Amino acid sequence: MRNRQTLTLVFLAILIYTLYSSIFILDETKQAIVTLFGKPVGEPRTEAGLNFKIPYFHKVQYFDKRYLEWDGARNQVPTKDKKFIFVDTYARWEITNPLQFFIRLRDERSAQSRLDDILDGETRNAVASHDLLDLVRSSNRDPEITEEFMEQIEILEDINVGRAKIEKIVLEKANERTADLGVRVLDFRFKRMNYVDEVRDRVYDRMISERNRIADQFRSEGQGEARKIEGNKEKDLAEIQSEAFKKAEEIKGRADAEATKIYAAAYNRSRQSVDFYKFIRSMESFEKSLDENTTIILSSDSEFFRYLKKVD
């Protein structure tokens, strides 16, 4: 009796495992193929949901249904105009045919390695076939002038192709080579470009020289403006001083004229007034020229003696 129950439990366990092994579930991010002894069987399973397979014999290979990332290696590549640059790229790709992908590449690691060969090779070909100017610019345009010193910058040279078109060329060439791999490259971009160290040092030196030239120009213009301001200051100061001197002389002239007029009026008064005026003037002269310790000798016909004699 106990052996019979044990056999029943074993049979149920095998049955449950068999039923479980005969189904598999795909979510929205996955796609799969079923293999028998390593060879694909049937069509790829791409729809999310419940799927069936033969237990114990069929194996399920899962592949990502989402967009996948490819990041290229940083390579040194010469351009058409013989300038060596470092190129760093990236791309996005997807598995479009799981069956073909499994037959040709087996897994994503092999796909990444194959894309390295394809995309790096096409990148080298594209860079070597175009000038550096086409690789760093996408369109012809005039530089936007935001500072006065930039007005002397030369007009940018026209490009023949442009960066965007070169990226498109690499994308098209890569898809031609991946068409039988079951994958499709969705997008390709140059992530970064830079000169090699030797060329970059020369470029920096040229940039420093250009900025020094602009700085010298600013200093020269500033010194010229300073001299102009100083010249205008000296001119204005001379004009102010000249005008002030002119007004001062005019005032002095009017004062002298007024004084002369007063003197003339005083002399034209009566004799007594004139004598009194002369007397006052003489006394002022005495006061200014004589003190307690001064001794003078006057002749009888001296004007001073005449007034002193009248005082006695």
Q: Write the pLDDT tens digit of every residue in 294-311.
A: 776 767 666 666 666 654
- Asked which of 20, 48, 64 is the last residue of a domain, the reply is 64
Q: Is 106 left (phi over 0), alpha (psi -120 to 50) or beta?
A: left
> Do 107 and 154 fall into the same domain?
yes
In a domain, 145, yes or no: yes
Mean residue pLDDT across the chain: 80
Q: What number of residues does the chain have? A: 312
Q: Return the amino acid letter for 136.
A: V
> Do 83 and 50 fall into the same domain?
no
Residue 275 in tokens: 């004598």
> Do 176 and 290 fall into the same domain?
no
> Do 104 and 124 fall into the same domain?
yes
Of 17-31, 65-79, 174-188, 279-293, give the lowest mean pLDDT range: 279-293
HSE, side-chain direction, 13 A CA sphere, residue 66: 6
Are 163 and 136 in contact, with CB atoms under 8 Å apart?
yes
- Asked which of 195, 213, 239 is the last residue of a domain, the reply is 195
More confident residue, 126 or 311: 126
Tens digit of pLDDT for each residue in 255-281? 888 877 777 766 665 555 666 666 777
> Do 59 and 76 fall into the same domain?
no
pTM value is 0.58
Q: Where are the beta strands (DSSP E) in 39-182?
A: 39-45, 49-52, 58-64, 68-71, 75-78, 84-95
In a domain, 240, yes or no: no
> Do 49 and 72 fall into the same domain?
no
In a domain, 24, yes or no: yes
CATH number at residue 91: 3.30.479.30
Contacts 24+ apart (CB under 8 A), 7-11: none
> Do 298 and 187 fall into the same domain?
no
- Residue 141 DSSP code: -
Tens digit of pLDDT for each residue in 128-152? 998 888 888 887 776 665 555 455 5
Residues 6+ apart with CB under 8 A from 103: 40, 182
From the list 207, 170, 189, 197, the residue with the least C-alpha distance to 85 is 197
Q: Return the amino acid letter for 190.
A: F
Question: What does residue 29 show for φ and ψ, rounded to 5 degrees?
Answer: -95, 0
Residue 212 in tokens: 């020094």
In a domain, 21, yes or no: yes
> Do 140 and 73 fall into the same domain?
yes
In a domain, 276, yes or no: yes
Tens digit of pLDDT for each residue in 19-78? 766 777 888 888 988 888 878 887 888 888 788 787 877 788 889 999 999 998 888 888
> Do 72 and 129 fall into the same domain?
yes
Q: Is the pLDDT of residue 192 over 60?
A: yes
In a domain, 222, yes or no: no
> Do 123 and 183 fall into the same domain?
yes
pLDDT of residue 165: 92
- Asked which of 144, 160, 195 is the last residue of a domain, the reply is 195
- Residue 107 DSSP code: S
| Number of compact structural domains in the chain | 3
In a domain, 310, yes or no: yes
The range of the structural domain enclosing residue 43 comes to 2-64
> Do 188 and 74 fall into the same domain?
yes
In a domain, 176, yes or no: yes
> Do 110 and 19 fall into the same domain?
no
